[in-house]
Structure 1
Amino acid sequence: MKRVACVAAWVFGIVIAANAAPIPLERGVGVHEWLNWSPVEKDGAYRWPPYRSEKEWLAGNRPLTDWPGGEEFARIRSMGFDFVRLSVDPGPLLASEGAKRQQALDILAAVVRRVASTGLKVVFDLHGVTQVPAYSMEMIYGGADSEGVARYREMVVAVATMLVKVGTDKVALEPYNEPAYYPCDSSGTDDWQRIMAGTVHDIRTVSSELTVVATGACGGSIAGLVNLTPGFDDPNLYYSFHMYEPHSFTHQRADGTHTFASGLPWPADNSTPEVVTETLKAQMDAAGLSPVEQVMNMVSARAAIARYFEQNWGQSQLEASFRQAVDWAKAHDIPSRRLFMGEFGVILMSADGRMGAFDADRLRYMTAVRQVAERFSIPWSVWEYANPYGMTLILPKGPAAPDPGLMQALGLAPQ
């Protein structure tokens, strides 16, 4: 009888493992401006209790009266999204312990419960920032065996414990965002492999059911993902990559008041270097740049334009990038639906033409990326819900309405 019971338990375990899966995700949007950059006091310490209120977030870059009122996350759900990727500054958690840390965790638990109550799943993205240097992501860059990594991993365990209480059917934990280890250029070590594997192991000591979003190094790129060895894999894991390829198109911007970097087309063969150059010159004229400023600007701009057209980015290269991730997953017996495109987006051209892509080019790119991801059943999260920086779903001025062209590019019904 004892042997029969053991066999039954073993079979039951196999069935559970076979049926295990991460929480279902399909179409998401990043919410980055709310819980990142937790407010600091004049002395540089975090304001306590930490994190902004929802009203502080909504009023941060525009009048609160621009927003329609009501439950903002219910509105996100009504747009056709099934999850949000909620960026959270880990700094206050790293800077506190005991009852003080628990207070911060309680605030975050209440936020996740409220968002989830609208029917949205939540990808809880620990997204380090630099405003308090002692608790920026620099603390994890001393190597896998460093004190900073140990402290960070201990904090991740506390977050995982909190999220399990919220409900493993509602939330996933993404412990790292765009880690700046660079083994993919052959100059690095195996530190990131060890950090990621160790962190997954830590979370699994808390829960085998909590969905975890793992990431490769190299800024969270596809190159970093395919450098990762997923020996720590289990059925409740997603594998993240961010799609900003080519970066020269998605992030057209230059440093400095009198610099212009804009107007590259998508795909590249949709225009010519000559047209882009003449358009840039016209924009600089309209902005009142002097001939000397224009010449200085064009020295670097011409080189960037030439490189972009030489690379001739288009649909075939985009698909080849995705194929790297899909082939990596297949080689490790991971279904492509457990890949996770955690960010993609394009800076829209600014009113003065100093940065960004023309809207038509931006929308062609966003449509193409979204469609390729969906062809491989890869869930995605667009960057980002609402901000004034040119990569936003909510229009940056006037009534806080979603951009109808971008909604269409995402395959969602315009609002």
Structure 2
Amino acid sequence: MTIIARRSAIGLVLAALGLSGARPAPPAPRGPGPRLRRGVNFHHVLNWPQMSAAGDYAWPPFVGGTYETSDAELRRLRASGFDFIRLTVDPAIHLAADAARRAELQDIVAARVKRLIAAGFAVIVDFHPVAQNPQFAPARLMADGDAFAAYMDLAGTTAATLSRLDPSKVVFELFNEPPLWRAEDQPRWQAMQVKLHGVARSAGGAALPLMLTGAKWSSYRTLIALDTQPFQGSNVYYTFHYYEPHIFTHQGVRKEQERYVSNLPWPARPSDEAIAVTEAKALIAKDAQLSADQKLDASRATERLLKAYFDGEGERRNLNSAFAAITSWASAQRISSSRIVMGEFGVAFQPTASPTFRASRSAWLHAVRSAAEAHGFPWAYWAYKGYGGMTLLTDGPSGGFDGEVVKALGLSN
């Protein structure tokens, strides 16, 4: 054997073992699919349908100003630089419907998607369970075998509906933020997603792009723990959500453990820890709904959160290491970066926000958006309008864009 041939053989062995110094080039996308760059979430169009006190859905559904987006709004979003919409769809109303109404709901989904495509957007149709209807809440779908079987059947029906649209304009996301957070839940989500993928692929055909995710609310850590072997050769995208550090992005949100934190700076500055603790304890002391013991527990828990933040969670380098880990995983799996979508990111905004917090929010949004673009990942901001303090609009449907957010996202106002 010649020296050249021997080196070639050794190189093949090293590559097979994953020890080669050279990275293989990512393969071409596996089938048709939209070229995504900058997106925004629409959580107001096909989610949170009106329900009566008895738990019945209003019919026809998704009617009224709350669910509407005008042509002028769509033109403005397109002109600002957005090229795709992540359209969240509540599966519960579909699962609760009889055959006739389910067919009508499928027509409504198709019509909304076609309108967005006609306005110049690609569309990610995101199955996005919410807790509005306890019978089909996210945790119930994960825990109940019959509920998940019904969900898979609906995924197949919807895949068939979307397969009739242009595959270069639409992607079907099979499950938003699986609420499985323990390490031992990862294999269970892996198996469930394999089943979902199989049903959707069978019903939707080979051309329909599908989107997959990790457990633990679509964490990047669980994404890079996925076994992608069952999806090799399939026309798929992958997605993760980024809200880290959670104490910063969700500070002041009433239903979160960070509800007593306010005006936290990012990146963390150790000199600000004492001020943050003092302000949090003052908010806890003012909460009339807490007993004395509950206030003590809340103070201790919040102080632990803040200590972790200022001891390292709030450092900028965590962002860089997270995106580097995703890129390393994608390279090893030979997944094109254009097929890995940061499907959600944002920071809750409070009316009492200080100038320091406003500057920190802008800095975080700019840094996360820039990191995604530097690594070649498309991104979708959460959200266009709605609740939770993360909206792009400042004053509801008739209000203007939040200029600070628009600037941080690198868009035109």
Match of 2:23 in 1: none
Residue 49 of structure 1 contacts residue 103 of structure 1 at CA under 8 Å; is this kept in 2?
no
Match of 1:311 in 2: 312
* Residue in structure 1 matched with residue 274 of structure 2 by the alignment: 274
CA 1:365–1:133: 2 relative to 1, 3 Å: same
C-alpha deviation, 1:264, in angstroms: 1.8
State the Cα distance separating 1:35 from its structure 2 match.
Answer: 1.5
Which residue is equivalent to 2:67? Answer: 57
Query: Over residues 163-189 of structure 1, what are the superposed CA-to-partner deviations in whole Å (9 max), with x where a residue is unaligned?
Result: 12232222110110000123xx43336
> Which amino acid is the alignment partner of residue 135 of structure 1?
F
Which residue is equivalent to 1:35? 46
Contact 1:343 1:380 in 2 (8 A): yes
Residue 5 of structure 1 corresponds to which residue in structure 2? none
Instruction: State the alpha-carbon separation in 2 of the partners of residues 195 and 161 from structure 1.
Output: 20
Check whether the contact 2:85–2:121 (CA below 8 A) recurs between aligned residues. Answer: yes
Q: Which residue of 2 aligns with 1:224?
A: 222
Which of 186, 206, 209 is residue 207 of structure 2 equivalent to? 209
Match in the other structure for 1:192: 189
Q: Is the 1:211–1:237 Cα contact (8 Å) retained in structure 2?
A: yes
TM-score, normalization by structure 2: 0.83
2:113 aligns with 112
CA drift of 1:277 comes to 3.8
Distance in 2, Cα, partners of 1:294 & 1:130? 26
- Which residue in the other structure is 1:124 paired with? 125
Deviations 1:243-262 (A, max 9, x none): 01111111113648xx6311
RMSD: 3.2
- Residue 342 (1) aligns with residue 343 (2): yes
- TM-superposed deviation, 1:295: 7.6
Query: How far did residue 278 of structure 1 move?
Result: 5.2
Q: Structure 1 95/312 Cα, relative in aligned 2: closer, same or farther at 3 Å?
A: closer
Of all paired residues, the percent bearing the same amino acid is 33
How far is the alpha carbon of 1:316 from its aligned partner? 1.3
TM alignment of 1:214-293, pairs within 5 A: 214-231=212-229, 232-234=231-233, 236-253=235-252, 255=254, 260-269=260-269, 272-277=272-277
Q: Which amino acid aligns with 1:136?
A: A
Deviation at 1:271, TM superposition (A): 5.1
Unaligned runs of 5+ in 2: 1-27
Task: State the match for 2:179 in structure 1.
Answer: 180
Equivalent residue letter for 1:121:
A
Q: Deviations over 1:113-139 (max 9, x none)?
A: 111110011110110011221122234
Judge which range, 98-107 or 17-26, deviates more: 17-26
8 Å CA contact retained: 1:383, 1:391: yes
* Per-residue CA distance 1:252-286 (angstroms, 9 max, x = gap): 13648xx6311221111385212334555788999
SS at match of 2:105: helix
Q: Is the 8 A contact 1:386 1:396 kept in 2?
A: no
- Cα distance in 2, alignment partners of residues 41 and 139 from structure 1: 21
The separation in 2 between residues aligned to 1:281 and 1:192, in whole angstroms, is 39
- C-alpha offsets along residues 144-167 of structure 1, whole Å, 9 cap, x if unaligned? xx2222211110111111112232
Q: Residue type of the partner of 2:227?
A: T
Is the alpha carbon distance of 1:293 and 1:394 closer, same or farther for their aligned partners in structure 2, counting shifts above 3 Å? farther
Measured in 1, the distance between the counterparts of 2:136 and 2:253 equals 28
- State the alpha-carbon separation in 2 of the partners of residues 243 and 409 from structure 1: 16
* Equivalent position to 2:36, from 25, 34, 37: 25
Name the CA shift for 1:399/1:282 in 2 (closer, same or farther; >3 Å): farther
- Looking at structure 2, the residues matched to 70 and 372 of structure 1 have their Cα atoms a distance apart, in angstroms, of 32
C-alpha contact (below 8 Å) 2:89/2:127 kept by paired residues: yes
- TM-score of the aligned structures, taking structure 1 as reference length: 0.83
1:92 is displaced (CA, Å) by: 1.6
CA contact (8 A) 1:349 1:359 kept: no
Q: Find the aligned partners of 1:177 and 1:286 in 2 and give their Cα distance.
A: 36
> What's the offset of the Cα at 1:224?
1.5
CA distance in 2, matches of 1:22, 1:371: 24
Q: 1:389, 1:156 → 2: CA distance?
A: 28
- Displacement of 1:357: 8.0
